Amino acid sequence: MKLHIVIVEPDDTRARLVIDSLQPLGHQVTVISEAAGLARRVCDIAPDIVLIDMSNPSRDTLEEMALASGPMERPVAFFVDRTDRDLTQQAIHAGVSAYVVDGLQPERVASVMDAAIARFQMFRRMRVELETTRRALEERKLIDRAKGILMKARGITEEEAYALLRKTAMDQGSKVADVASALVTAAGLLS
């Protein structure tokens, strides 16, 4: 029996990652990307499982459905079912929450969750990497500009400018990037 799974995910790339992991298992997957009218759309689709990022604020809307709908077709929060503590811990760590129709076989749920957890973890890593790279690039740009300002104002070489920034940062107990940022801001104000 194939399951109908809804993924609530505004990020297209991420939704696709999860779809790619679930479709080969033979499940039908629908993506809802907008928060507006979420409850009504999920009701219309009547899926077996809803997957949503724990950091998505719209999760509370699904929580309402889990409490309000009739007991026969009630989606229950996956986390409060404690039959599989390991799986739940993994899901929380990966940041995926799920709402599952009551009475669905635990093994079937577990296979879907395993696939979803793997994809969510992969995406989380990608996001951290992306963020780290972005910040490093920004800091390097800032330090380059600060070096340029120092070289021009004091007639020193690039190495001397960097050494000066580093010494100042060490004296103040702050990061080179922070000293550079302060210098760039001050230079902007004075020019």
Partner 1 sequence: MNLTAVRVGFVPLLDMAPIVVAHEMGFAAEEGLGLDLQRAPSWSSLRDMLLWGQVDAAQMLAPVPVAMALGLGGAVERLDILQVLSVNGDVIGVSQTLADRLRAVGHEFGFTDAARARDDLARAVQTPVRIGVPFPFSTHVELVRYWLRDARLDYALCTIPPTRMADALAAGEIDAFCVGEPWGTVAVELGAGALLLPSRAIWAVAPEKVLAARHDWVCQNPSLTGRLMRAVWRAARWLSVPENRLIASEILARSEYVNAPVDLLERTLRGEMVVSAQGELRQVPDMIRFFDGAASFPWRSQAAWFAAQIATRHGLDRVQSIAAVKAICRTDLYRQNLRSAGADLPGASEKLEGSLHHATAVASERGQMILAPDFFFDGQIFDSSL
Q: Hey, what are 73's tokens? A: 């077709």
Q: Hey, what are 50's tokens? A: 């809803």
- Smallest distance from the beta carbon of 61 to partner 1, in angstroms? 5
Backbone conformation region of residue 151, classed left if phi is above 0, alpha if psi is from -120 to 50, else beta: alpha
Cβ-contact 65, 8 below 8 angstroms: no
**Rounded-to-5 percentages of helix, strand, coil across the chain:** 65, 15, 25
CB closer to partner 1, 89 vs 157: 89
- Smallest distance from the beta carbon of 36 to partner 1, in angstroms? 6
CB closer to partner 1, 26 vs 57: 57
- Smallest distance from the beta carbon of 105 to partner 1, in angstroms? 19
DSSP result, 46-87? --SEEEEETT-TTHHHHHHHHHHS-STT-EEEGGG-TT-HHH
CB closer to partner 1, 40 vs 175: 40
Query: CA 61, 40, 48, 101: dihedral to nearest 10 degrees?
Result: 50
CB closer to partner 1, 21 vs 97: 97
- Smallest distance from the beta carbon of 93 to partner 1, in angstroms? 9
- Smallest distance from the beta carbon of 128 to partner 1, in angstroms? 17
Residues engaged in binding partner 1 (CB under 8 A): 35-37, 39, 54-64, 66-68, 76-77, 79-82, 88-89, 92, 97
DSSP state for residue 24 in the 8-state scheme: G
CB closer to partner 1, 38 vs 143: 38
